[in-house]
Structure 1
């Protein structure tokens, strides 16, 4: 590699940037997106104009955005990370006053002909700012309480705004993304252990408060917990979605029922089949083999990101890659756990597979940051 890079120094800068792109990562992202196009075509009953074609157009736009971000020097993104964070925060505040309501939640803003979801932008903005913060902060101060409090506040503020929408899935991803950057920066494990202990203690207290004079949750919220633990307790009500999702997962078997042959999705038993529950459609039509194959594609993407972070000698770039990769991991992990009934979180589509414009473009833009870090890394 050193011989190749030494010879590339004589190549014009523009061409050299193209050669420095992480092409395996581009191929893997494209493969995941193609799986999404295929499933969107299937759940639309063979009508490409309903979901598949619009998603393809967004993918084309997203790839252009990714390349523009990739060819922009990484120091530029470090310098404007604070501006990007403030813009995302202002958009989240604007959602509270001018947001569009859909599916019982107020998460979107209509800007001209476009509908954007600011919480998607905040996932990337938070990671950018925390990476820039720890790049600026001397290593010996990383675990001091005052300097730990600042990134916690930077994470908590947008998380609270997203919870108000409400969007539990994205809130978890914001916390997880911030935690990944803090962990990679070298924050003491005692802080993480303390947070885990507090969360476990809080859950215990909440459950113990049921039926007492100091009950911490409403009765309907406890009923939601009961439904999560046992969906069959309300099979036609709160437990309907997850029961149908589990039927789709199980009925696929090893090799699946066949393309466009899934009964749960084609007969509309499966809810939100083109967004939150699209993984169940894939598992029903292509079985364990198809579901495992998609998971391996996601795993390979994370693997290439971790390698890029480890070989990069720039602290900001390395932390940024780790943060983006961590957020992406929790993105698909939370969705898969949710549709299998392992988590009660809602509002978390499958990245690059589920139908959605702003999510697709912002995810590809975030991988553009990873590409920028690789293209412009010290060699």
Structure 2
């Protein structure tokens, strides 16, 4: 296993534990048990070879589509919005299938391109991306559907699809979706309300409704080293989920926030190393190609979502409801992101094992003298 990746996961989970202890002390034991389960999932997933994931990719992806369809039929919402169906309940367990669907799409596209190649396969891959995105879009969950669609585009590029083909696809889809956008926004007015709130936060500040502003004040009050979980803080929405970075910053200060960014950088670095090492292997087998694509997709799934969450916290984006991977409270996200890390571990192991042997110095000297 990659020590760098293990350290990144432990660092993010530890900071998340501190953030939950700060925002919702009563949930600390529940969150800790889910983190232990996540670590177990990572270590178990890392032991499986990439060919197993590639072989099971299509059934796994279809299973996530069934779960998404079940959400539309029998899913549950929240107290704030019962019409928004995003979860399935199995007894005491509540699970969000859209989290798992993103990983299912990564595996399916990696398997598809490793078996079929990228030539003349754009239409099939596009259908997979659009079908997954559409089911999430209908929940409705605009933030996750945009992330899912973007993830699919990145996977096509990572697999070797020409950027010109991707650009034409994006343009055509934009033109087709414009008429649908107006109907969707009219049916789900909360999206425009969030956007108007994002644009008019000065008015909300006067009314005392500026929730993100309160989170910013908590973040700045943390200073360099933090005030600890028991310090006096503001009350604001989703302090243990979507806005947990503010809780982490309050308790651990700028040092803790910097460590969050550093941990995500370590995940990016490890996945890029998989791609670089895979490029040295000749011939490029379907398993190696699929492993490299899986690692890239898993990395973008984690880090892309993290960037969106942090952009919301920085008031760059309006509220999306996207958790901070491996830090926020929530069973679905912890389980899925831990599984994604296990896949990167698996890809790294097989790529390292198939690297060409490098000649030792004595052999190089013998070649030079000849």
TM-score bucket of the superposed structures, by smaller chain: 0.7 to 0.9
Question: Could you say if the C-alpha distance between residues 178 and 345 of structure 1 is closer, same or farther in structure 2, counting changes exceeding 3 Å?
Answer: farther
Task: Tell me what 1:13 maps to.
Answer: none
> Alpha-carbon deviations, 1:134-165, whole Å to 9, x = none?
101235x1xx4xx2122122111121211222
Task: Tell me what 1:159 maps to.
Answer: 133
Task: Tell me what 2:239 maps to.
Answer: 273
Among 145, 150, 165, the residue aligned to 1:171: 145
Question: Could you say if the C-alpha distance between residues 224 and 41 of structure 1 is closer, same or farther in structure 2, counting changes exceeding 3 Å?
Answer: closer
- C-alpha root-mean-square deviation of aligned residues, in Å? 3.0
Following the alignment from structure 1 to structure 2, what is the Cα–Cα distance between the partners of residues 189 and 304?
A: 24
Q: Are 1:309 and 2:275 matched, yes or no? A: yes
Task: Tell me what 2:50 maps to.
Answer: 74
Among 242, 245, 248, the residue aligned to 2:215: 245
> Alpha-carbon deviations, 1:230-275, whole Å to 9, x = none?
21233477963233233333444444444432522xxxx2211111
Following the alignment from structure 2 to structure 1, what is the Cα–Cα distance between the partners of residues 255 and 97?
A: 35
Alignment of 1:71-110 (within 5 A): 71-102=47-78, 103-104=80-81, 105-110=84-89
- Give the alignment's TM-score, normalised by structure 1: 0.81
Task: Tell me what 2:360 maps to.
Answer: none
> Alpha-carbon deviations, 1:62-111, whole Å to 9, x = none?
22222222212221111110000000000000011111222423111112
Task: Tell me if the contact between 2:4 and 2:266 (Cα under 8 Å) persists in the aligned partners.
Answer: no
Following the alignment from structure 2 to structure 1, what is the Cα–Cα distance between the partners of residues 238 and 292?
A: 36
Following the alignment from structure 1 to structure 2, what is the Cα–Cα distance between the partners of residues 220 and 115?
A: 23
Matched residue SS, 1:234: helix
Task: Tell me what 1:117 maps to.
Answer: 96
Question: Could you say if the C-alpha distance between residues 91 and 199 of structure 1 is closer, same or farther in structure 2, counting changes exceeding 3 Å?
Answer: closer
Following the alignment from structure 1 to structure 2, what is the Cα–Cα distance between the partners of residues 92 and 318?
A: 27
> Alpha-carbon deviations, 1:306-348, whole Å to 9, x = none?
1123213410000000000011111110100012111124110
Following the alignment from structure 1 to structure 2, what is the Cα–Cα distance between the partners of residues 41 and 115?
A: 21
Task: Tell me if the contact between 1:334 and 1:345 (Cα under 8 Å) persists in the aligned partners.
Answer: no
Task: Tell me what 2:339 maps to.
Answer: 365
Task: Tell me what 2:308 maps to.
Answer: 334
Task: Tell me what 1:58 maps to.
Answer: 34
Following the alignment from structure 1 to structure 2, what is the Cα–Cα distance between the partners of residues 220 and 32?
A: 31
Following the alignment from structure 1 to structure 2, what is the Cα–Cα distance between the partners of residues 170 and 123?
A: 9
Range moving further from structure 2, 239-248 or 327-336: 239-248
Task: Tell me if the contact between 2:18 and 2:251 (Cα under 8 Å) persists in the aligned partners.
Answer: no
Alignment of 1:118-197 (within 5 A): 118-139=97-118, 141=119, 144=120, 147-194=121-168
Task: Tell me if the contact between 1:168 and 1:347 (Cα under 8 Å) persists in the aligned partners.
Answer: no
Question: Could you say if the C-alpha distance between residues 262 and 189 of structure 1 is closer, same or farther in structure 2, counting changes exceeding 3 Å?
Answer: farther
Task: Tell me if the contact between 1:176 and 1:327 (Cα under 8 Å) persists in the aligned partners.
Answer: no
1:371 Cα shift?
Answer: 1.6
1:373 Cα shift?
Answer: 1.8
Following the alignment from structure 2 to structure 1, what is the Cα–Cα distance between the partners of residues 145 and 156?
A: 17
Following the alignment from structure 1 to structure 2, what is the Cα–Cα distance between the partners of residues 89 and 204?
A: 25
Q: Are 1:261 and 2:231 matched, yes or no? A: yes
Following the alignment from structure 1 to structure 2, what is the Cα–Cα distance between the partners of residues 237 and 90?
A: 44
Range moving further from structure 2, 253-262 or 224-233: 253-262
Task: Tell me if the contact between 1:71 and 1:372 (Cα under 8 Å) persists in the aligned partners.
Answer: yes
Gapped runs of 5+ residues in structure 2? 282-287, 355-370
